């Protein structure tokens, strides 16, 4: 071996091994292939396992352990939030492991094995599986380092496409069946056995079709011409029998004959399968680019990463710089080998540190309106890895963090390219940048969850400490004059500072684990609404033209305090819900109709005097004209401005007589239409203020809002079990005969007792295997006491 450190092997078939303390034979390419395949397989297994757990595990757990265990485990996974914590930890170690190669702060040899373990977080496939010196010339190494991620993306894309093709072909073989529709006919045209019927209630054929791989195929007559022209197709992408993606389909009646045929639906199913495959491939590409960008950029900078060495024992200023990755190459413009790397370096520099972040930024800019409006589109779903952990107005924060990692792990090499690793300037700059980023984190608080925010701040604080300690390590390793470490720092050697760095890196893992355990123990008690069917928080999407989930209409004199309470409490149990409330959102009283149009649902708070208000009636007519789903909420407490439903209905009949709906709804047919929409279509939700009863009112409001949201209109079966809140009062049931004693003078008590008795007769308040008849008996208290 030769070179300035005697760490460069003369033979092309050997590489320098620090573990063996000399040159070792290069491993065969079979080893490289096996190790690379093992790493890719491990990463793929982790990814697919996470996907499988999030999609299939709930169903399996329900069958094995029962619904309660399945729901609690699903809640646990959702509440802990593994993804953002994993990203924070990986980002920390991707930068921390550059202390030696980029900043020249090489830890004491006793700790180098630990740092080698942390190199796994760099996701450097080549560096982890095969020695650099065995690959070939420096130009060949640059080519492999810059292009292997594209090979991984291509292989993964091929696997996804092959799987989708297999699923598509299997669906095509069994792709005959029934398609349900509303507002138009559905025929078989000889390629199915469908009955062509909807459900007759105009709900869009909720049960959908019997076509294998297609579910919830809904035909909607949007323009009222009797021909269905919009619909929904759900595609089973992974063949597990469960539709994985649901998306709007433009034009189901493709040939304009007024008939929705199964062959047309099959064509649309194929189109949705292709689009779903494209989304998954984009998601894979984003995932690969995110994790490998720092390591690939650092590998590209190996063409510029130099280290200076003293060449004379008599002249301390006489130094010569060599390329760290190839100690045969001098870092001088007149060196032919060094100059020949320029083209490779700049080409791949533009490709990775420049173009890749710009492409990701372009995607985030493209979907920014959908993300901020909480609208779920195909592209925003495919890019969710980049934005879903942050508040909507900071959805681009991942790019800021990515540029931070790029700068600290590779771009900092532009500082003193020849001998920067032997000086302190890079460490000083890195310390300042980390401190500034920590300040920005504290000021903007971009994360949705506070635990992720605290972990990110801690990671940046520890990283700043690592750079400061790296400065100490460099000073202690310097031989500028004797005992400099002890004189300037107080350590006898670099061992103490190195040990401190190791403590910080271990502390990051320990803190992350403690935080995960803490979140796991407290997750199930969080008082937020979740679906009983999955245990997860509901999908809070909106139609493409709306920015609010609901518009709440009320009269100030008798409903102001109650509606404010409703909105505030709804925000507590559904943090992502957006409800239009006048005190928060009203800017122009003349634009009430536009505000109603900007919400997906229309909440009506029924209290005394509501229908007398002209502005309230304007809102009502706008809701009718726009055909918004009405969610009536009834204030029954007379002392709080409430009244019986009969009185409120009479008030509606008396005052909702405006011609043409005050000009807002020209086809308004009179009070009967308003009464039918508010009081008859669905029972108004009773607003109760007391403890657990208020929570039940909020759950009822939330459930109706969800039923009318775009996602759950396409996937209604997930709401059939209802919603729940951790810690809520569970339902009670009678396990045997019960006698209720009632005072004869208390009319309300008699009513409640009779209601309980009636519920028992229908079986709604009984435990399993308890007979319905005679379970609840009512007796007068006075007679029983006598």
pLDDT for the residue numbered 283:
92
Separation between Cα atoms, residue 317 and residue 308, nearest integer Å: 11
pLDDT for the residue numbered 315:
58
Which sign does the torsion angle of CA 126, 132, 135, 139 carry?
A: positive
Exposed/middle/buried for residue 417 (C-beta within 10 Å: 0-12, 13-18, 19+): middle
Nearest to 105 by CA among 475, 355, 434, 451: 475
Residue identified by tokens 């433009």 is 250
pTM above 0.85, yes or no: no
pLDDT at 451 over 70: yes
* Over residues 216-220, mean pLDDT: 42
- Taking the domains of the chain in order of start, what are their residue ranges? 83-119+391-526, 548-725, 738-785
In Å, what is the CA distance from 131 to each residue of 14, 24, 113, 115, 152?
9, 10, 17, 17, 20
Contacts of residue 500, Cβ cutoff 8 Å, sequence gap at least 6:
469
What is the average pLDDT value for the chain, to the nearest integer?
77
* 548-725, CATH topology level: Rossmann fold (3.40.50)
* Over residues 106-116, mean pLDDT: 68
User: Chain centroid to CA 138: how far?
Assistant: 41
* pLDDT tens sequence across 554-581: 999 999 999 999 999 999 889 889 999 9
Confidence of residue 285 (pLDDT cuts 50, 70, 90): very high
pLDDT for the residue numbered 387:
92
pLDDT for the residue numbered 222:
39
Confidence of residue 213 (pLDDT cuts 50, 70, 90): very low
Nearest to 596 by CA among 611, 586, 584: 586
pLDDT for the residue numbered 184:
37
SS3 of residue 309 by DSSP: strand
Confidence of residue 358 (pLDDT cuts 50, 70, 90): very high
- C-alpha angle with apex 770: 769 to 771, nearest 5 degrees? 115
pLDDT at 90 over 60: yes
pLDDT at 331 over 60: yes
Higher pLDDT: 71 or 384? It is 384
Higher pLDDT: 144 or 43? It is 144
pLDDT for the residue numbered 30:
63
Confidence of residue 773 (pLDDT cuts 50, 70, 90): low
Confidence of residue 144 (pLDDT cuts 50, 70, 90): confident
Confidence of residue 469 (pLDDT cuts 50, 70, 90): confident
Higher pLDDT: 610 or 125? It is 610
Separation between Cα atoms, residue 538 and residue 718, nearest integer Å: 10
pLDDT for the residue numbered 53:
46
């Amino acid at each position: 071996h030769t070179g300035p450190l005697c760490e460069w092997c003369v033979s092309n078939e050997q590489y320098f091994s620090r573990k063996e303390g000399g040159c070792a034979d290069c491993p065969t390419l079979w080893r490289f292939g096996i190790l690379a395949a093992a790493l890719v397989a491990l990463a793929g297994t982790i990814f697919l396992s996470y996907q499988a757990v999030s999609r299939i595990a709930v169903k399996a757990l329900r069958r094995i352990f029962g619904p309660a265990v399945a729901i609690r485990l699903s809640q646990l996974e959702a509440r802990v939030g593994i993804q953002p914590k994993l990203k924070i930890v990986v980002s920390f170690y991707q930068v921390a492991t550059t202390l030696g190669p980029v900043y020249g702060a090489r830890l004491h040899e006793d700790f180098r094995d630990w740092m080698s373990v942390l190199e796994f977080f760099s996701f450097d496939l080549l560096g982890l599986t095969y020695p650099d010196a065995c690959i070939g010339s420096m130009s060949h190494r640059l080519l492999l380092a810059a292009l292997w991620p594209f090979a991984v993306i291509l292989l993964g894309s091929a696997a996804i496409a092959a799987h989708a093709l297999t699923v598509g072909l299997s669906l095509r073989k069994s792709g005959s069946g029934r398609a349900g529709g509303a507002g138009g006919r559905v025929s078989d045209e000889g390629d199915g056995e469908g009955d062509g019927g909807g459900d007759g209630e105009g709900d869009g054929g909720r049960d959908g079709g019997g076509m294998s791989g297609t579910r919830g195929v809904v035909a909607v007559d949007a323009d009222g011409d009797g021909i269905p022209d919009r619909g929904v197709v759900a595609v089973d992408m992974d063949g597990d029998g469960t539709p994985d993606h649901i998306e709007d389909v433009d034009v189901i009646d493709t040939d304009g004959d007024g008939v929705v045929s199964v062959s047309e639906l099959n064509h649309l199913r194929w189109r949705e399968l292709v689009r779903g495959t494209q989304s998954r491939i984009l998601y894979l590409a984003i995932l690969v680019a995110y994790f490998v960008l720092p390591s690939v950029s650092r590998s590209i900078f190996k063409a510029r990463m130099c280290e200076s060495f003293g060449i004379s024992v008599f002249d301390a200023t006489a130094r010569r710089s060599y390329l760290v990755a190839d100690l045969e190459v001098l870092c001088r413009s007149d060196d032919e080998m060094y100059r020949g790397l320029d083209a490779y370096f700049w080409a791949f520099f533009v490709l990775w540190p420049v173009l890749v972040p710009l492409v990701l930024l372009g995607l985030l800019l493209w979907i920014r309106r959908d993300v901020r409006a909480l609208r779920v589109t195909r592209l925003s779903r495919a890019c969710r890895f980049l934005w879903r952990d942050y508040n909507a107005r900071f959805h681009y924060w991942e790019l800021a963090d990515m540029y931070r990692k790029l700068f600290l792990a590779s771009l900092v090499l532009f500082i003193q390219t020849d001998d920067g690793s032997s000086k302190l300037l890079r460490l000083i700059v890195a310390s300042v940048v980390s401190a500034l980023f920590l300040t920005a984190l504290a000021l903007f608080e971009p994360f949705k969850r506070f635990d992720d925010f605290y972990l990110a701040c801690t990671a940046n604080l520890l990283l700043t400490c690592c750079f400061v300690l790296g400065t100490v390590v460099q000073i202690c390793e310097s031989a500028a004059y004797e005992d400099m470490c002890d004189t300037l720092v107080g350590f006898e050697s670099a061992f103490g500072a190195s040990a401190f760095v190791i403590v910080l890196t271990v502390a990051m893992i320990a803190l992350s684990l403690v935080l995960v355990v803490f979140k796991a123990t407290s997750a199930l008690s969080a008082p937020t609404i979740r679906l009983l069917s999955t245990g997860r928080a509901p999908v809070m999407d909106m139609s493409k033209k709306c920015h609010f989930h609901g518009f709440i209409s009320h009269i100030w004199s008798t409903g102001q305090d109650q509606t404010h309470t409703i909105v505030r409490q709804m925000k507590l149990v559904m943090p992502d819900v957006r409800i239009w409330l006048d005190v928060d959102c009203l800017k122009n009283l003349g634009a009430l109709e536009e505000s109603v149009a900007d919400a997906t649902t229309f909440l009506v708070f029924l209290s005394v005097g509501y229908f007398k208000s002209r502005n309230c009636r304007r809102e009502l007519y706008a809701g009718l004209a726009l055909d918004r789903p009405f969610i009536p909420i009834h204030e029954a407490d007379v002392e709080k401005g409430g009244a019986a439903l009969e009185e409120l209905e009479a008030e509606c009949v008396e005052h909702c007589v405006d011609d043409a709906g005050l000009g807002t709804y020209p086809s308004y047919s009179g009070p009967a239409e308003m009464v039918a929409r508010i009081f008859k279509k669905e029972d108004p939700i009773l607003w109760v203020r007391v403890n657990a009863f208020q929570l039940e009112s909020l759950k009822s409001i939330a459930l109706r809002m969800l039923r009318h949201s775009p996602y759950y209109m396409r996937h209604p079966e997930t709401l059939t079990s209802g919603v729940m809140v951790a810690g809520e009062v569970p339902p009670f049931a009678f396990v045997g005969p019960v006698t209720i004693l009632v005072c004869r003078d208390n009319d309300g008590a008699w009513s409640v007792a009779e209601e309980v008795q009636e519920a028992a007769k229908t079986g709604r308040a009984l435990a399993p295997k308890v007979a319905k008849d005679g379970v609840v008996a009512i007796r007068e208290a006075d007679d029983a006491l006598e």
